[in-house]
Structure 1
Amino acid sequence: MNNDQARSAVPSGTGSPDGRSSRWQSHREERRRELIKSARRAVHMLGSDASMEDIAAAAGTSKSVFYRYFGDKAGLQQAVGEVVLSQMQRRIQEAAQSADTPREGLLAMVSAYLQMAATSPNVYTFVTRYGSGDPEGASGAVSGALGHFFDAVAEMIATPMRSHLGDSREAVIGYWPKAAIGLVRNAGEQWLSTPDSPAKPGQESMALQITAWLCVGIAPELSPPVRG
């Protein structure tokens, strides 16, 4: 029996005073964390379409080990996604807390999102793509962590705008966060997938542009005149 088989084995019985059961569980959890880190590194190097076999080879183990710990590729995506998206959420929250105005807060959050995603576009795509016909079974299993992430970010961006607009605009602000998240995500992902060229905006310019769209729209000069 190799180390992975030994670590993933469940000891018989109901445990013992010497804590063997808890030690086995601790070993298994530590091994799972190691595999998640290895998978993240492999996807970063190999691309978001890396197969389970390729990921396992890069991790120095077998595909069966990954299936034993994560079930299938969707399970691995979900596990990696929980780690990556949690880190992104914390970074976005920290960025929001450093801002003095609602617009500065939006810019800080958009900048943090783009920066984290651009750190490894392969990993970002790996954990945010699901239900795309992946032959290895990647599916909606990832959507739980992903949905929680975008819901949390939507609430983060809504808080300063509620404070700025006041209760009189609550009916409007109730719809805006999810629409804003859709804009940020789709614009950000298109920016990530656009090949580098002189025409492609830099990260700072893209963050400023997205923030402007969120705050004043694409053509503020077309706003209807204020009626007296």
Structure 2
Amino acid sequence: MSPGPVRRRPGRRSSQERRDRFLDAAVEAIRREGPTVSMEAIARQAGVTKPIVYRLFGDREGLLAALGQRMAGEIMAEVTAALEQGPADPKDMLRRAIRAYVTLIDTETEVYRFVTERTVGGATITGLAAEVARAIAVVLGEQLRAAGADSGAAEPWAFGIVGMVHLSGDWWVRTRTLPREQLVTYLVDLLWDGFAALAPDDAAT
């Protein structure tokens, strides 16, 4: 008689499932209480004790890294979707990508600030930008090849663009000194035209 299918014992979940459920609870707690939320409040939201948190993530830095990776994935998904919406004017494609990025950190500001403000030396904010840039480089390379252009520019361009947009967005979510769409326009104009607007009219003569 052949053995029946292996069944998971009731109430048991894989380690990844538990981590995902805990991160969902952490996001809810951060949205409700802001970036200064305590680890105790996060554990309470998840219905566990702090030792369980350490078992899942190692320590507080492990939790921050896991949340940073999740946010990087969400940013990459939004920006990549914006770039892959179909044929478009290159400047419009740039605007869509920047708008997608800024919109996400605007709508998830508390989680973004929790991840970036509680990391010593800015390690997470740098890692977040690098992860996004690597993904954008792939998509940008495909776009350049499709246009018959030099795809070797994809990686340095991706890191340069993401670095600028990332730090500008980080400044913006903390200051809110101008409307979101105005920030997008300023960034697009700088990336598209550079500092040409500052050149005197007779510079080319």
TM-score (norm 1): 0.71
Among 12, 33, 39, which residue is 2:20 paired with? 33
> 1:183: which partner in 2?
164
Paired with 2:145 and 2:192, the residues of 1 have a C-alpha distance of 13
Is 1:67 matched up with 2:50?
no
- Work out whether residues 116 and 124 of structure 2, in 8 Å CA contact, stay in contact via their aligned partners in 1: no
- Work out whether residues 26 and 46 of structure 2, in 8 Å CA contact, stay in contact via their aligned partners in 1: yes
Paired with 2:144 and 2:169, the residues of 1 have a C-alpha distance of 21
Q: Could you give the per-residue CA deviations for residues 170-216 of structure 1, whole angstroms, max 9, x where no partner exists?
A: 77766433222221011111111104xxxx22111211111111111
> 2:130: which partner in 1?
147
State which drifts further: 29-38 or 146-155: 146-155
Q: Could you give the per-residue CA deviations for residues 42-90 of structure 1, whole angstroms, max 9, x where no partner exists?
A: 1222222333222112333211111111111111122222222212211
Paired with 1:164 and 1:34, the residues of 2 have a C-alpha distance of 43
- Work out whether residues 102 and 164 of structure 1, in 8 Å CA contact, stay in contact via their aligned partners in 2: no
- Work out whether residues 212 and 218 of structure 1, in 8 Å CA contact, stay in contact via their aligned partners in 2: no
> 1:89: which partner in 2?
76
> 2:90: which partner in 1?
102
Root-mean-square deviation (Å): 3.4
Structure 1 pair 156–125 and aligned structure 2 pair: CA distance change class (3 A):
farther
Consecutive unaligned residues of structure 1, counting only runs of 5 or more, are 1-15, 134-138
Paired with 1:117 and 1:142, the residues of 2 have a C-alpha distance of 12
| One-letter amino acid of the counterpart of residue 159, structure 2 | K
TM-score (norm 2): 0.78
Consecutive unaligned residues of structure 2, counting only runs of 5 or more, are none
Paired with 1:152 and 1:180, the residues of 2 have a C-alpha distance of 12
Deviation at 1:30, TM superposition (A): 2.5
Paired with 1:146 and 1:105, the residues of 2 have a C-alpha distance of 19
